[in-house]
Structure 1
Amino acid sequence: MEQEQLKKVAVSDIFINTNFIIPIYQRNYSWKEKEIEQLIEDIDSSIQSPNSSYFLGNLIVNQKESRLYEVVDGQQRLTTLFILQRYLSTIFARDALCFEAREKSNRTLSALDDTGKLDIIDEFFSSEILDGLKIISNYFGKKQLDRNNFKSKLKNVFLIQVQVPQNIDLNHYFEIMNTRGEQLELHEIAKAKILEMLDSTEQRKVGAIIWDNCSNMDSYVQMNFKKEYREKIFTGDWSSLDKKVTSFESIVNLLKIQDNSKEEKSILEILGQEKIVQDKKPSGETEPNEDERFESILSFPNFLLQINSSKNDNLYEMEGNLDDKKFMLNLEWTWKSSINAKSFLFLLLKSRVLFDKYIVKREFARDYKDTGKWSLQRLEKYTDTTKGKSNDKPNYVATFSDRINKQLRTLQSCLRITYTSPKTMHWITLAIQNLLKDENANLTTILENYCSEKIKNSGFENESGFAIERIVFTYLDYLLYRDGNTKYDIKKLSEDWQFQFRNSIEHFYPQNPSELEKWEKPHLDCFGNLALITTSDNSKFSNVTPLAKVDTYKSIIDQSLKLMIMAKMVKDNHSWTKEMVELHKDEMFEILAGN
């Protein structure tokens, strides 16, 4: 049996006369909306002509038989491509991809016929794979992608199939492939290039401290610094940068780090040494479980792109500013000179403090430890004297007064669940940009104006069905939350309601009812008959009658204030009619038009 070490394979042909098996030591399929939509978007945007080509990356395999390969690395992408091609009605063997020891997954993959649909759904099917199919279907619907056109693009999309050496210990190889720090990521290369531009070893050490402590996005940046540094850089209550911190050079002077090294080492060598130390021991003095309490809405590389974009007043929404595929190109200016490097490092720290203080996070604590909730809090120091000695600890308090905090927290979470791809989160750039100019900037007004402009440009009054942009649904829910609605018993600024990660358009009167007459498109796809819910709940809701939905699925109804109004209308009238759909649409459009 001949083994090809490297092979270029078109995605359109990957499953033709070839079988892949995913071994037991690999985890189950776990890609969600973010990863799946990003894959589809990358393919769609990269293939603009018959002469275009796009490489998705590597697929590491171990050849078992002539046309049978064991997947060592790349199974999440490969499984998504399998589901995607089934959705596009590509014809290939049902067992072209299977899991070694996951019967539910195999049953579900096998049940996907050449039309991309499932005849039966039961408890013996994989919910993860079903969700993947639903996400793909919804994305094609909301973006109005032509399936045949997209299918033809896959002929110009390629994977590099890499064969591992013979007689290798695959379990050990897989562990190495997934070990943190196997190779430098782009943001680590950017760090090296920036530090190389600084004027002395002392400056490079301070630059590395700033970079490393800002890179841990899941705890407040103050707590990432050693206590001795924290006391010098931040105010007495730790809430802000000290007034003495006005530039990178001022931080170097405040920290006064001694240079005891006898020889200069390359920055890449320093990076390698630091990475090993960090893996063994955190660089900061975080409180117990603090890294587990908060979850940032941005990764560090995406945050770097955000603050880089914020420096351009009128170009914050310029195409490509937040595109991680252009990461090095976007940041290239930072390592062109020592002045640029110092300027960016100071901007990084200042922006990170503002980001933690004024941009929402997910918080996991107390009765919401498992599910999490939206959080808008600032960090302040408090002194614990309960054990007979003073001990300074972090305390988290609402950033603003109660009403303003609730409103801004909900407004930001509205934007977060609407623009799920990091490359579309321009609202964060806009917020940071204004805070850098004036920390007292009215973020609520700024972001409401941003949303209003998006609503206006969407042309929602003339759209229907999947063509209605998600911001129309989410911003409407925000307005109902902000102002309340006495007619339909919607409480103003209710503490009990928060946005969930909703991305699936639900037809309240079902598209294919089993017990009722089928409605024509104008009423079926009317805004008054639509709501936004989570993808997993859409499958439960699917063909159920409006009355049954209201009686049975309160937890789903409560996801959307718009949907709660629709449910109350059903309860009051004991029905859901075309006239009610039109009434609801008019009432909701009036709310949107007034904002």
Structure 2
Amino acid sequence: MVEELKILGEQVIFNTDAHYVIPRYQRAYAWEDKEIEQLIDDINDINASENYYIGSLVVSKVKGKFETYEVVDGQQRLTTLFLLLQYLVYVGALKEEVGQTLSFDCRSNSNYTLSHIQKILAGQIEDENSIELSILNGIKVIRQKFEKDTTLNIDNFVSCLGHVILYRIEVPEHTDLNRYFEIMNTRGEQLEQHDILKAQLMGCLNDRGEQEFFSKIWNACSDMTGYVQMHFSPFYREKIFGNEWNDWPADEWADYQQCFCVTEESDKGATIAEIVSSKFKIDDIDGMLDNNIHVRFDSIIDFPYFLLHTLRVFVELNEVSLEKPLGDLLDDKKLISDFKNVVDQGKINGNSIDKEVFAQMFIIHLLQTRYLFDRFIIKREYTGEDNEGEWSLKELFTSGQGSKKKAYYSNTKLNYSNEWERTYAPRNKECLMIQSALRVSYTSPKVMHWITELILWLFNNDDNQNPKLIDVAVSIAAQATLENFLNGGNYKLGVQTPHIVFNFLDYLLWKSDKNKYGDFDFEFRNSVEHWYPQNPSDGSFDSWDNKDTFGNLCIISRSVNSKFSNLSPKSKMQSYEKMIKKGSLKLRIMGDIIRNNSNESWIMNQCEEHEDEMINLLKDACAMQD
């Protein structure tokens, strides 16, 4: 059972009727300055208009004792919140007392300290030998933080605290608590929002076999390395993806009926292991390339963000109407609240969403989205001993029969019916290049909306339309270039010029002459550089008022930026020609121009001519008329 509890207000974690016991197998309170101050800062930074998930508390209800819970995981955060509330009561910021709602099993000093916090804060310690020093230190850290940190306003902090949510997860009655604690200790981290979400959605299913199958799909999809097929056992792999392991997963929940099997082990009721299970892989290596080289693949996003993309596609495909639209940003901190918004407030065809039906629909949708993501969205590929990796757009195939069947990977085919391979093969590279241009332009996963758009398009179009995926990706880049650069008509933005403009331009240059630029790859070049510098070194040559114009700009890595410094274009080319030849395509062109021209000719006419050529290339690609 999962309960959403607040720190203040109604349905609070420290309800005076509830009592939490820290068992003896757990370590004593151990948080120090860094952890305590970070918790306070996190709360203080909350947007006061929205709820904020701060963690989870896993408990086991003590049989025969009313509202008494043994804390299995989350005691450090729970104890700190208890101390924090006690301090706020002491300074008068809270009116209601917290009560003796927390205790330690077989730790008399800890219990003495917890029951005497108000006296300790007032400097009235009666028995210093009975004080638990780690808890005393926690109290001191909290007090010093509020007294010395000028950014903390105690009234505002209390207001923020009212929006803090903590999820209390009650483990099933027969769970082996020592085993569970061992799992969580090995894991070394709190349950994340996607763990809580999994538990909530599984709880909507009444059938044990359905819950187990839901868990298998969720676990497979949550491992974002490699391809989802390889995260299932061979039995489920063939049931879901067919004999060749690459069929489209079925659309209806009833089609998976033969997968709803309950094992003897799962009948024992220890379902919490499913909720917290670590990411796993069936094989250590993802598979082979078609030339028998070992390979592994990494995703360009983590699972919480994949869930957010999947939810947005689900809302669009099922025409879910929402009173409050999902936010513009893909915010992993709002994962639970976004799902809650859809499930509790959303309507399909005017009807409220049934939670059991949603859980069934969403887990199938998650599986299908991951299938499309693996096949049509770029990954990072590592072969042999290579640690650098390269962009990859491949799909899974199989070789061999029976127990000797293995996966191998070859370029994703973007072909129309009955096309020759020589016709469709180049499309893979084009799709890879435009996607990698988007990837390096939008480095934060919060703004990678292009993934949502591509996945949505794939759902809405048949396989024989897949070549048009390139056009969709190009359209996304072109639209961003129009809206954020060309439409404004101001090409003198300097370092504020959006990165997508440079990367889209490089894609267009690459496509215009693939042979000449065959060695070019998109990298994380995150620094906009002035070719003719902003501040000429030591006044050795004149400054230039027009330095911020687009023709004088390029995108480079930060390490290159530090080398270029304030050198003139001519000096940059002479000193770092090899580096420039491996750089962005616009930079290479600028280098070629300056090789046969002077710094003076660059600012007199070469820069303007170069800019006109580049801007016209962008305008043509964006179908923009002068």
CA distance in 1, matches of 2:403, 2:272: 41
1:508-559: CA deviation from partner (whole Å, max 9, x where unpaired) = 11222226423233x2111111101112221111222222322332234422
Query: CA offsets per residue over residues 211-238 of structure 1, 9 Å max, x none?
Result: 0011111111111111111112113322
State the TM-score, normalized to the length of structure 1: 0.65
Question: Which residue matches 1:420?
Answer: 443
* Segment drifting more, 466-475 vs 215-224: 466-475
- Counterpart of 1:462 in structure 2 is 490
Aligned counterpart, 1:322? 330
What corresponds to 1:219 in structure 2?
226
**Relative to 1, partners in 2 of residues 1:54 and 1:391: Cα closer, same or farther, differing over 3 Å?**
closer
Matched, 1:473 2:491: no
Give SS of 1:410's match: helix
Q: CA deviation at 1:4?
A: 11
Report the CA distance shift for 1:309/1:53 in structure 2 as closer, same or farther (over 3 A).
closer
Distance 1:293 1:482 in 2: 28
Give the counterpart of 1:246 among 234, 251, 276: 251
- The reply to whether residue 350 of structure 1 matches residue 368 of structure 2 is yes
Alignment of 1:305-454 (within 5 A): 305-313=308-316, 319-320=327-328, 322-332=330-340, 333-334=342-343, 337-366=355-384, 369-383=386-400, 391-400=404-413, 401-438=424-461, 439=463, 440-441=465-466, 442-454=468-480
Aligned AA for 1:350?
Answer: Q
SS at match of 1:462: coil
**Residues 262 and 524 of structure 1, relative CA distance in 2, 3 Å threshold:** closer
Match for residue 592 of structure 2? 568
Q: Which moved more, 1:547-556 or 1:526-535?
A: 547-556
Contact 2:217 2:367 in 1 (8 A): yes
Q: Would you say the 8 A contact 2:594–2:602 is kept in 1? A: no
Structure 1 residues 239, 288: closer, same or farther in 2, change over 3 A? closer
Which has the larger displacement, 329-338 or 585-594? 329-338
- Displacement, 1:299? 0.2
The question of whether the paired residues in 2 share the 8 Å contact of 1:217 and 1:300 is answered with: yes
Task: Indicate yes or no: 2:563 matched with 1:546.
Answer: no
The question of whether the paired residues in 2 share the 8 Å contact of 1:358 and 1:399 is answered with yes
Q: Of 191, 201, 220, which residue of structure 2 is paired with 1:194?
A: 201
1:457-512 Cα distance to aligned partner (Å, 9 max, x none) = 1134304202211111111111111122xxxxxx4584421100111001111222
Instruction: Give 2:337's aligned amino acid.
Output: L
Per-residue deviation, 1:258:
3.5
Q: Name which of 284, 299, 309 aligns with 1:296.
A: 299
How much does 1:204 deviate? Answer: 0.3
Structure 1 residues 9 and 203 mapped into 2: Cα distance closer, same or farther (>3 Å)? closer
Superposed CA RMSD in Å reads 4.0
Counterpart in 1 of 2:275? Answer: 271
Q: Partners in 2 of 1:318 and 1:533 — Cα distance?
A: 35
Query: Are 1:588 and 2:588 an aligned pair?
Result: no
More displaced stretch, 538-547 vs 195-204: 538-547
Paired with 1:4 and 1:195, the residues of 2 have a C-alpha distance of 33
Q: Contact 2:537 / 2:566 at 8 angstroms: preserved in 1?
A: yes
Q: How far apart in 2 are the matches of 1:364 and 1:231?
A: 27
Aligned residue number for residue 104 of structure 1: none
Instruction: Supply the AA of the counterpart residue of 1:543.
Output: N
Unpaired segments of 5 or more residues in structure 1? 15-38, 59-71, 74-151, 161-174, 485-490
Mapped to 2, the partners of 1:349 and 1:467 lie a distance apart of 39
CA distance in 1, matches of 2:34, 2:433: 49
Question: Which sections of structure 2, spanning at least 5 residues, go unmatched?
Answer: 1-29, 56-75, 78-148, 161-181, 289-293, 345-353, 414-423, 622-626
CA distance, structure 1, for counterparts of residue 433 and residue 52 of structure 2: 39
Deviation at 1:8, TM superposition (A): 11
Match of 2:285? 287
Q: Is the 8 A contact 1:511 1:518 kept in 2?
A: no
Within-5 A mapping of 1:252-263: 253-260=257-264
The CA deviation at 1:199 is: 2.7
Matched length? 435
In structure 2, the residue matched to 1:100 is none
Which structure is larger by alpha-carbon Rg, 1 or 2?
Answer: 2
**Is the 8 Å Cα contact of residues 379 and 397 (structure 1) preserved in structure 2?**
yes
Q: Determine helix, strand or coil for the equivalent of 1:293.
A: strand
Question: 2:228 & 2:374 partners in 1: Cα distance?
Answer: 7
Q: Cα distance 1:55–1:264, how it changes in 2: closer, same or farther (>3 A)?
A: closer
Q: Give the aligned partner of residue 5 of structure 2.
A: none
Relative to structure 1, the CA distance from residue 329 to residue 493 in structure 2 (aligned partners, 3 Å threshold; closer, same or farther) is farther
**Distance change >3 Å, CA 473–CA 257, structure 1 → 2:** same
- How much does 1:259 deviate? 4.6
Quote how far apart the aligned CAs of 1:10 are: 9.2
| Alignment TM-score, normalising by the size of structure 2 | 0.62
Q: 2:53, 2:333 within 8 Å by CA — same for their partners in 1?
A: no
Over the matched positions of the two proteins, sequence identity in percent amounts to 34
Q: Which moved more, 1:184-193 or 1:465-474?
A: 465-474
Secondary structure of 1:380's aligned partner: strand
| Alignment of structure 1 residues 128-139 onto 2, 5 Å | none
